[in-house]
Amino acid sequence: MPANVRKILVSNALPYANGSIHMGHLVEYLQGDIWVRFQKLRGHQCTYVCASDVHGTPIMLKARELGVSPEELTEKVTEEFLRDFAAFGIEFDNYHTTHSPENEALVAEMFSVLYEAGDIYTRTIEQAYDEQEGMFLPDRFVRGTCPRCKTADQYGDACENCGATYSPADLIDPVSVLSGTTPVKRDSEHYFFKLSDYEERLRQWIAEAALEKTMVAKLEEWFEAGLQDWDISRDAPYFGFRIPGTDDKYFYVWLDAPVGYAASFKNLCERRDDLDFDEYWRPGHDTELYHFIGKDIMYFHTLFWPAVLQGAGFRTPTSVFAHGFLTVNGKKMSKSRGTFINARTYLDHLHPAHLRYYYAAKLGPTVEDLDLNLEDFVARVNSDLVGKLVNIASRCAGFINKRFDGQLAAELHDPALFATVAGAADDIAEHYEQREYSKAMRRVMALADDANRYIDEKKPWVMAKDEAQLPEVQAICTQGINLFRSLMIYLAPVIPTVAADAREFLAESAWHWDDAGDPLLATGIAAFRPLLTRVEASQVNDMVEQSKQS
């Protein structure tokens, strides 16, 4: 492997297998997929893993309600996840499940090392117990008023309004989500991880990981409030891994879920000779590890997870990238308004490339929320992808096919203009690297404007009427096709299926990032077929109508 090739492992947060993938989820998976595709296009060894998060009380209860086993339920949901991911061009190198032998072995190993070191201890706690249901209640099955900001109807582990974390016992006026009754308190022995011992080590990791400044500010708040030891166990009945040496205690889903990243990779290593688990998951190797997550799970990924990894003898992430929530038309996604849109509903009406591009055009590296404005979506996709980008090829391909037997000229008509487009490669690459996708899209579309302006000025459709000018027409259209090709290479991470169709049209089998600076000359191209059609407002309206629920 060449010396400048990076070895990178990337994960997305694991989707919880009790519901469908929706437009909000797709912000994260598309952000991760675009970054991975970019790294691969640059020639790096970038491995992309994910898995279904399948443990916990919600899944146990959902399976009970449906009269199936948790395994059957989560396998069916995982099949749906995989169909939707594939349809949106999200291409994991491995997709696994947290209910796997690899995950169970890794969790048990981490627990054993931490327990032996004294980083895990037991203590008796009071827990919320639903007498009507006859079970201890997980944090998220108790709701009440936040003890800090007094916002009503919050989960028992964290407030969505102020971000405070606490236990269900801290809630004001707690209620069981299962029965609607007030839970009683019962004693139970639980296992705790000594997060409070890790502040200095975590501060050092945060500095090394160069986390985004908003994330660092939030972490500073948590440090000031004092790190709380973490309850990593749950009482039976529970769908998960039983803690070794116990009869009725299980690992909390939030302990084994992030271990699912390592377990999915381990599962892949068993099938791939070019990957070594320890090289990516033990300290002292020149590899990179990145997690793409939502801002709502920062606490787990920037405090608990790196601390557990450090204590258990594993490497910590190179960095963690968090994104904001999705709003639609400036408001929270709503089933009654039809703006809580499932991935499958979108696919029933629109091309995945449209959404991939729109998200990229609005995504940056911060935790700011992203707004899907449906009117703007129609206008921007039609203007940028169809009106600017695909238009370049459609304006030039007909002349090459009909007048020159599909042969490109041996020289460019305007080498300086091509050099300008090729010269943008490093800047655009840096935007992708820093997850400044919106800046990359703006730069590409500005270059597309230059390409269209060039074709407008040269008017090959007028020149083609004069036989003497045909050689120049061939050179101008070859220039246009090459400008389109370079821009399509830059956009290949964002709209991969459109890029694949463009490659077929150009009779090329594969692209590398550097090919954008190397023109295609004196070679044959295929007949041009429309690569994308316009979005109609009626398609969007139909999608919203289909999503409406009372």
CATH number for position 92: 3.40.50.620
419-462 per-position pLDDT tens digit: 999 999 999 999 999 999 999 999 999 999 999 999 999 999 99
Q: Are residues 308 and 366 both part of a single domain?
A: no
Are residues 310 and 316 in contact, defined by beta-carbon separation less than 8 angstroms? Answer: yes
- Read off the tokens for 87: 């349809």
Judge whether residue 357 has pLDDT over 80.
Answer: yes
Per-residue pLDDT band at 122 (split at 50, 70, 90): very high
Residue 541 maps to a domain: no
pLDDT band at 167 (very low <50, low <70, confident <90, very high): confident
Q: Give domain status of residue 548, yes or no.
A: no
Between the CA atoms of 100, 106, 108 and 112, what dihedral angle is there, to the nearest 10 degrees? 180
Same domain, 230 and 306: yes
Nearest CA to 421 out of 452, 378, 380, 400 is that of 452
What are the tokens at 347?
Answer: 């696919």
What is the per-residue pLDDT for 517?
A: 97
- Whether the pLDDT of residue 390 is over 60: the answer is yes
**Same domain for 277 and 373?**
no
**Residue 313 sits in the same domain as residue 367:** no
Contact 321, 290 (CB under 8 A): yes
Mean pLDDT, to the nearest integer, of 85-91? 98
Residue carrying structure tokens 């117990």: 129
Both 262 and 208 in one domain: the answer is: yes
Q: How far is CA 3 from the centre of its chain?
A: 28
123 sits in which H/E element: strand 120-130
Considering the domain architecture, whether residues 316 and 360 belong to the same structural domain is answered as no
Whats the size of the chain, residue-wise?
550
Q: Is 137 within 8 Å of 129 (Cβ atoms)?
A: yes
Structure tokens at 479: 């220039």
| Whether the predicted pLDDT of 225 surpasses 80 | yes
Residue at 245: amino acid letter:
G
Query: From CA 480, how far away is CA 482, in angstroms rounded?
Result: 5
Pairwise CA distance, residues 85 & 38, whole Å: 18
Mean pLDDT of 195-217: 95
**What per-residue confidence (pLDDT) applies to 53?**
98
Q: Report yes or no on 335 lying in a domain.
A: no
Report in angstroms the alpha-carbon separations of 399 from 34, 213, 277, 478, 505.
34, 52, 53, 10, 14
Q: What is the mean pLDDT of residues 55-67?
A: 91
- Specify whether 221 is located in the same domain as 298: yes
Residue 173 domain-assigned (yes or no): no
pLDDT exceeds cutoff 70 at 505: yes
Total domain count, the chain = 2
The answer on 442 and 360 residing in a single domain is yes
- Predicted pLDDT of residue 1: 65
User: Which stretches does DSSP call E strand in 312-423?
Assistant: 319-323, 326-328, 331-332, 370-372
- Does residue 368 share a domain with residue 292? no
Query: Mean pLDDT over residues 495-514, rounded?
Result: 97
My answer on whether 85 and 199 are in the same domain is yes
DSSP labels for 464-495? Answer: TTSGGGHHHHHHHHHHHHHHHHHHHHHHTTTS
- 369 lies in a domain? yes
Place 164 in a pLDDT band, splitting at 50, 70 and 90.
confident
274-285 pLDDT, tens per residue?
999 999 999 999
Q: Is residue 497 part of a domain?
A: yes
Q: Smallest Cα–Cα separation from 130: which of 164, 86, 96, 180?
A: 180
Check residue 181 and give left, alpha or beta (phi > 0: left; psi -120 to 50: alpha). beta
Residue 530 lies in a domain: no
* Angstrom distance (rounded) from CA 335 to CA 316: 39
Q: Which of 323, 341, 368 is the last residue of a domain?
A: 323
Whether residues 387 and 480 fall in one domain? yes
Q: Does a structural domain hold residue 254? A: yes
HEC sequence for 43-91:
CCEEEEEEEEECCCHHHHHHHHHHCCCHHHHHHHHHHHHHHHHHHCCCC
Residue among 61, 133, 55 nearest 98 (CA): 55
Task: Say yes or no: 291 and 367 in one domain.
Answer: no
Helix H or strand E encompassing 290: strand 288-294
| CATH code of the domain in which 418 resides | 1.10.730.10
Asked which of 284, 306, 323 is the last residue of a domain, the reply is 323
Domain limits for position 201: 7-119+194-323
* Share above pLDDT 90 across residues of the chain, in percent, rounded to a whole number: 93
**pLDDT score at 550:** 52
User: Residue 46 in contact with residue 11, Cβ under 8 Å?
Assistant: no
- Across the range 189-201, mean pLDDT stands at 96
Q: Which two tokens stand for residue 285?
A: 């190797």
Percent of the chain's residues with pLDDT above 70: 99
What is the four-CA torsion angle of 357, 498, 424, 293, rounded to 10 degrees? 40
